[in-house]
């Protein structure tokens, strides 16, 4: 069993579930690759994760043996494909402890899931008979935060433009935490929805949501949590979190691209008007008007990403088999190790929490005055893959006064040796640019 040294300051619990990282790595064919003559060191899992053989095999097997359209054919292949697709929905519902399978809506990704909710609001605002919780207009407010991914900013800006509502946001502290000091002034009876990132893709911050949830309930607003960076890395229980919607995206959790999830409370989804119209989302259609199917079908117009959903089900099986608590703990140890190791690099500045508490395994930093693109290029020449740029979170870069950041992010297959390779690579960068 490959174990990692527990960094100083980490509590040492006996009952922490562990797994064999070397065995997990053997499941990911891509990790055997070389890049520029060096072993691949992949530190960009916040961007997209790699896929284990167990998921790749299910994807190929689906197309090879069970390919058919879903929810419309009575033949054997159609039935098999429908069962596999709906079976994946059931696995995902169990993974996040959704009270009902029908609360899981398949989308293309997190971005589409957030847009779906935002468009449901403006569509509702055009219908006099719509549920008032979704009707929004001048005088109403939408609340987000300064640490959102663009996917959780732009859809709400567009909704505000379409409806005349006002967009407001939580600021970020110097330590990269959500500044909740103005909570009661920010979230008020005017608020229709608060849409908040659970774990920041750029700062690594994991937001504690309990106080915000309580305030949202007091004022009668709705709460959406963008869990794109948390569902892949920690146990998620939608009942416990008590949000109204959560979104996540398959490709960051060992699944394929092209598949994401909107989870919504059953009664809210039932009250939401459709967004995309087309096949499979109707109850009946005449030339003059249509009526709509119950959720989740109401929100899955057209042929869905069938094989992708089935493969996401396989990804959920894979992650469950290892254990989400074990994955979370592994990444916590890696984060503590990386924060200690990066602190030894002269001139390195970390953006976001510099302790392994209330944060995940995504660390953004600057190395002196070296431009992140130069950092990324030197690291790439050594096989070390990190992301550089604004990370689709430009307001965070603006907040910290930099045009771009370098980001290393970890997952269940990451090792401390890879973090050592990053640190050694950064020493190389310093030599090149000194």
Question: Which residues participate in catalysis according to the annotation?
Answer: 392
Q: Is 362 in the site for ligand PLP (CB under 6 A)?
A: no
> How far apart (Å, rounded) are the C-alpha atoms in residues 415 and 43?
10
> How far apart (Å, rounded) are the C-alpha atoms in residues 45 and 414?
9
Number of residues that bind ligand PLP (CB under 6 A): 13
Only one of the segments 92-100, 145-153, 159-167, 169-177 lies at the binding site for ligand PLP (rule: CB under 6 A); that segment is 145-153
Cβ count near 12 (within 10 Å): 6
Q: Is 249 in the site for ligand PLP (CB under 6 A)?
A: yes
Q: Is 228 in the site for ligand PLP (CB under 6 A)?
A: yes
Nearer to ligand PLP, 124 or 312 (CB): 312
Q: Is 107 in the site for ligand PLP (CB under 6 A)?
A: no
Cα dist from 168 to 144, 149, 183, 198, 352, whole Å: 6, 15, 11, 18, 22
Torsion angle of alpha carbons 1, 92, 333, 388, nearest 10°? 120
Token output for 254: 């060992």
Q: Check: CB of residue 356 under 8 Å from CB of residue 339.
A: yes
Phi, psi of 405 (to 5 degrees): -135, 160
Among 115, 122, 191, 201, binds ligand PLP (CB under 6 A): 201
Cα dist from 305 to 69, 166, 218, 325, whole Å: 10, 35, 38, 29
Nearer to ligand PLP, 109 or 125 (CB): 109
**Bridge partners, 225 (sequence order):** 196, 246
Q: Is 111 in the site for ligand PLP (CB under 6 A)?
A: yes
Length of the chain equals: 434
- In the complex, minimum distance from the CB of residue 150 to ligand PLP, in angstroms, rounded to a whole number: 8
Closest-CA residue to 124 (of 110, 136, 106): 136
Among 66, 91, 149, 177, binds ligand PLP (CB under 6 A): 149
Q: Check: CB of residue 245 under 8 Å from CB of residue 133.
A: no
- In the complex, minimum distance from the CB of residue 228 to ligand PLP, in angstroms, rounded to a whole number: 4
Closest-CA residue to 116 (of 274, 301, 290, 243): 274
Only one of the segments 97-105, 107-115, 339-347, 411-419 lies at the binding site for ligand PLP (rule: CB under 6 A); that segment is 107-115
Closest-CA residue to 156 (of 236, 232, 77, 245): 245
Only one of the segments 49-57, 144-152, 214-222, 293-301 lies at the binding site for ligand PLP (rule: CB under 6 A); that segment is 144-152
Among 41, 144, 197, 336, binds ligand PLP (CB under 6 A): 197
Nearer to ligand PLP, 163 or 249 (CB): 249
Strand 260-264 relative to strand 245-249, pairing:
antiparallel
Among 45, 109, 145, 195, binds ligand PLP (CB under 6 A): 109
Nearer to ligand PLP, 82 or 249 (CB): 249
Q: Is 364 in the site for ligand PLP (CB under 6 A)?
A: no
Among 44, 141, 226, 308, binds ligand PLP (CB under 6 A): 226
Nearer to ligand PLP, 108 or 265 (CB): 108
Compose the 65-94 pattern: x for residues touching ligand PLP by CB under 6 A, - for all others: ------------------------------
- Binding residues for ligand PLP (CB under 6 A): 109-111, 149, 151-152, 197, 201, 226, 228-229, 249, 392
């Amino acid at each position: 069993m490959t174990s990692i040294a527990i960094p100083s300051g980490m509590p040492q619990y006996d009952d922490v579930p562990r797994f064999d990282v070397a065995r997990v790595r053997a499941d990911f064919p891509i990790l055997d690759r070389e890049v520029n003559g060096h072993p691949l060191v992949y530190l960009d899992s916040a961007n997209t994760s790699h896929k284990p053989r167990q998921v790749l095999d299910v994807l190929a097997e689906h197309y090879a043996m069970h390919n058919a359209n879903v929810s419309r054919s009575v033949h054997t292949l159609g039935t098999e494909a429908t069962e596999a697709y709906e079976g994946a929905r059931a696995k995902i519902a169990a993974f996040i402890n959704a009270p009902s399978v029908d609360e899981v809506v398949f989308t293309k990704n997190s971005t589409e899931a957030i847009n779906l909710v935002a468009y449901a609001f403006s569509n509702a605002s055009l219908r006099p008979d719509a549920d008032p919780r979704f009707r929004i207009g001048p005088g109403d407010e939408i609340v987000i935060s300064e640490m959102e991914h663009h996917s959780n900013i732009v859809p709400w800006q567009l909704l505000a433009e379409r409806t005349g509502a006002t967009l407001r946001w939580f600021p970020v502290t110097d330590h990269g935490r959500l500044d909740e000091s103005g909570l009661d002034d920010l979230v008020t009876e005017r608020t229709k929805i608060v849409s908040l990132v659970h774990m920041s893709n750029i700062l690594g911050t994991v937001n504690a949501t309990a106080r915000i949830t309580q305030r949202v309930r007091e004022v009668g607003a709705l709460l959406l949590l963008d869990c794109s960076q948390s569902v892949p890395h920690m146990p998620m229980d939608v009942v416990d979190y008590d949000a109204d919607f959560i979104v996540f995206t398959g490709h960051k959790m060992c699944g394929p691209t092209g598949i994401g999830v909107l989870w919504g409370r059953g009664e809210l989804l039932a009250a939401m008007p459709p967004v995309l119209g087309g096949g499979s989302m109707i109850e009946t259609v005449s030339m003059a008007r249509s009526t709509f199917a119950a959720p989740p079908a109401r929100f899955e117009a057209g042929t869905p990403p069938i094989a992708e959903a089935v493969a996401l089900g396989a990804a959920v099986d894979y992650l469950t088999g290892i254990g989400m608590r074990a994955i979370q703990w592994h990444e916590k140890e890696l984060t503590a190790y990386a924060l200690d190791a990066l602190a030894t690099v002269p001139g390195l500045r970390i953006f976001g929490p510099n302790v392994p508490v209330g944060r995940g395994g995504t660390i953004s930093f600057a190395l002196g005055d070296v431009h992140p693109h130069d950092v990324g290029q030197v690291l790439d020449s050594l096989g070390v893959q990190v992301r550089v740029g604004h990370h689709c979170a430009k307001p965070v870069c603006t907040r910290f006064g930099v045009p771009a950041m370098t980001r290393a992010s970890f997952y269940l297959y990451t090792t401390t040796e890879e973090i050592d390779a990053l640190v050694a690579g950064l020493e190389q960068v310093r030599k090149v640019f000194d």
